[in-house]
Structure 1
Amino acid sequence: MKKVFNLLFLFSMAGIIVSCNKNDDDEPTPLRDYAEQYATDLADIEEYLQTHYIESVTNNPGQPDDQDIKLTLIPSGGSQTSIWDQTTYPLSFINVESNDITYKVYYLKMREGTGSNSKTPTNYDSVLAAYKGNLLDDTVFETNNYPTSYFNLGGVIKGWSELFPKFKTGSYQVNGDGTLSYYDFGSGVFFIPSGLAYYNSTRASIPAYSPLIFSVKLYEVQRVDHDSDGIFSYQEDVNGDGYLRDNDTTYEDDTDQDGTPNFLDRDDDGDNYLTKNELKYIINGITYYYPYDGALVDDPVTPQNETYGIPRAFTGPLLNPSLPESETNKRQPLPEDYTDSNRLRRHLDANCKPPYQ
């Protein structure tokens, strides 16, 4: 059943229509060897980085052109410092496992994102982002300077879903005319090999096997609960690395090791109890659920039950210490069961099984 749910989710993500999705209009060309094509792409991308320079980065807070970046070919005999050699915005890279090879994916970070509301997306959250895309010959194939809708990073090209978690949002204010002005958002440039983009698919303005360059601005993140278990998917990132699906075949965030990552698994610990039914506690006859940190208001009458979010397995004394632990003689909560920053939330704890916890 979990496998079916997993497949249905992936098919639904593939149907989202956003700029960077593969779509039914793509025209495939004969498939090349991934490793050979990657070697070509990497050489071409590195040549671009060594022959182009950052001509300008606009600093205009609150305006649509804030953090616009212009990359320009170094003219013959020019003395400009290449993207490769400049240090103002150090060139970084990540390794991405896909297609049975390891891709080296370069990116620039003009700004990480420092606003008062800043937060980092996982590779399956939805984001609101402005962007401009161009080919290595500097042809611009698409721009979106005024984004109005979110797109899920699980339904776009892999290069995007792997790089957006390296950035944070900023903050915004509502203008008198109802528009929004964004400040201190994360901004950068992605240099994506074709194997993490459209590969052998041809779009109207993108030839097959094209490495792509995207300058991006991350305005906002929308959290998603993919498996409807009452836990936002980003909170099911057990190792906290920002990646819910770590590569094509391995899922590190998989508590019960059943091959379905927690964010797609309605029973994370494999105990045959739905996660959403485990995350509850009864206070004064009222059943409370813990869908996310800060969901409930502290109860000053019962300080031992302060609700700071998803608790770990309760570690307090038994209701009746003289009797063994049972369904009617459960352990009582301690404040640190809710507040310990290193606690293992009960929905991720394979040893925390109802009815005892």
Structure 2
Amino acid sequence: MKRILSVLGIALLFMSCGNDDENNIQAVPPRLLSEVEPENRAEIISFLKTHFYNYEEFQNPPANFDFKIKLDTIAGDNADKTPLIQQVDSAIIDVSALEFALSDGEENIPHQYYYLQARAGVDTRDNPSVADSVFVRYEGKLLDRSSFDGSTVSPVWFDLSRIQAPLQGFRGFSEGMVNFKPGGDAIINPDGTFAVEDYGIGMMIFPSGLGGFNSVSGGIPQYSPLIFQIDLFTINKTDHDGDGIPSIDEDLNGNGYLYDDNTDEQAEIDAGLRSFTVNFLDPDDDDDGVSTREEISDADGNIIFPYPSTGGVPDYLNPDVQRTSDDN
């Protein structure tokens, strides 16, 4: 997943091949989201019923416990363990084919993911949103518990909005992170390293429609459900385009997906643009020539709450109103 850190915007990638007949290659069309989702759901539920984690160590930590989630099969000496299915919570996210650049027209196909909070973080702030950045240790696994990626020693920053972008393949990670809290204040050690006490520890499991779906990359086969174990240290709230509006508040339809909110999409189409800029990355959301920040600020540069509006529509989303700070 480290490969996505360099993504700076939406990238819809289209691949073309040579003549398949000449190369004796038969193209296999992508499967439908609605066809794969039930299969993935059955796989995940089977895994949750037949596996457990080291919950007893988390409940009564032994000396020198490393606070790592360890998964194992319910069998033999572990036959009496409580299965994960009795310990996880879940949420449902709607997924559409366009998120994978597929043209079959499927929209809003429900996908259920599961999450486990092994230890709650102590930070009293809000949980991260799908638009925020998180500082985490993580490990990604398949349902056979083999690891395909991770940073289990040194934490890394992930911009949750970027990894849910079309074709990135980790929307489930972004959605799952909203269920966890970070730890307390960082303690800086004399050698320059730091420690965060009582950070959040958890795990999420999601179907391929919230992952890479039909793509093959980084050791992840097509249509594979994914497991991520995470340690959440801290978060940063974001305003990606610096327009004064938190990125999560630019999710206008409230569906948790930032890439289908584009107020000036028609203007971009009319202008003949080949790529579009969604609201959370666009400093002029309504393309009226006055920046969003200008339309929501007073003459001293202070942001006005609630945002100025005309006729019930915020002025920064109304191309027919060009409000400047001198008007506020």
Normalised TM-score (structure 2)? 0.68
Residues 117-196 of structure 1 aligned to structure 2 (within 5 Å): 118-156=125-163, 157-171=170-184, 172-196=186-210
SS of the counterpart of 1:202? coil
**Aligned-residue CA RMSD (Å):** 3.8
User: Which amino acid in the other structure matches residue 179 of structure 1?
Assistant: T
Secondary structure of the residue aligned to 2:143 is coil
SS of match in other structure, 1:206: coil
2:40 matches 1:41: yes
CA distance 1:213–1:244, shift in 2 (3 Å)? closer
C-alpha distance in 1 between matches for 2:38 and 2:219: 23
Deviation at 1:152, TM superposition (A): 1.6
Instruction: Please say if residues 126 and 181 of structure 2, whose CA atoms lie closer than 8 Å, have aligned partners that are also in contact.
Output: yes
Cα separation, partners in 2 of 1:271 and 1:65, compared to 1, 3 Å = farther
Cα deviation for residue 109 of structure 1 reads 2.0
Alpha-carbon distance change, 122 to 272 in structure 1, aligned in 2, over 3 angstroms:
same
Structure 1 residues 313 and 31, CA gap change in structure 2 (3 angstroms): closer
**Is 1:281 paired with 2:324?**
no
What's the CA shift for 1:243? Answer: 2.9
**Structure 2 counterpart of 1:301:** none
- The CA distance in 2 between the partners of 1:65 and 1:278, in whole Å, is 54
Which residue pairs with 1:211 in the alignment?
Answer: 225
CA displacement at 1:194 relative to structure 2 = 1.5
Which position in structure 2 is the counterpart of 1:4? none
Q: What is aligned with 2:236?
A: 222
CA contact (8 A) 1:29 1:202 kept: no
2:122 to 99, 114, 136: 114
Counterpart position of 1:322: none
Q: Does 1:267 align with 2:296?
A: no
Question: For 2:280, what is the secondary structure of its paired residue?
Answer: helix
Partners of 2:59 and 2:188 in 1: how far apart?
Answer: 20
- Rounded Cα–Cα distance in structure 1 between residues aligned with 2:65 and 2:195: 11
Contact 2:40/2:207 (<8 A) preserved: yes
1:243 aligns with 2:244: no
Matches within 5 A, 1:19-38: 31-38=30-37
CA offset digits 1:61-99 (Å, max 9, x no partner): 9xx9754211210015822221112xxx44333333333
Could you give the per-residue CA deviations for residues 147-198 of structure 1, whole angstroms, max 9, x where no partner exists? 3542222332111121112223222211222111112333221111122212
Q: What stretches of structure 1 of length at least 5 have no aligned partner?
A: 1-6, 15-27, 291-309, 315-343
Report the CA distance shift for 1:195/1:176 in structure 2 as closer, same or farther (over 3 A). Answer: same
Letter in 2 for 1:277: E
Contact 2:50–2:73 (8 Å) recurs in 1: yes
Report the CA distance between 1:281 and its aligned residue. Answer: 3.0
* Contact 1:194–1:212 under 8 Å retained in 2: yes
Unaligned runs of 5+ in 2: 1-6, 14-26, 98-106, 164-169, 268-276
Relative to 1, partners in 2 of residues 1:37 and 1:135: Cα closer, same or farther, differing over 3 Å? same
The change in CA–CA distance for 1:177 and 1:242 in structure 2 (over 3 A counts) is farther
When the two structures are superposed, what TM-score results if normalisation uses the length of structure 1? 0.63
Query: What residue in structure 1 maps to residue 93 of structure 2?
Result: 95
Q: In the superposition, relative to structure 1, how do residues 59 and 48 fare at CA in structure 2: closer, same or farther (>3 Å)?
A: same
> Which amino acid counterpart does residue 105 of structure 1 have in structure 2?
Y
Alignment partner, residue 73 of structure 2: 73
In the superposition, relative to structure 1, how do residues 69 and 9 fare at CA in structure 2: closer, same or farther (>3 Å)? same
d(CA) in 1 for partners of 2:316, 2:66: 42
Larger fraction in helix: 2
Structure 1 equivalent of residue 305 of structure 2: 311
Aligned-pair identity in percent equals 33
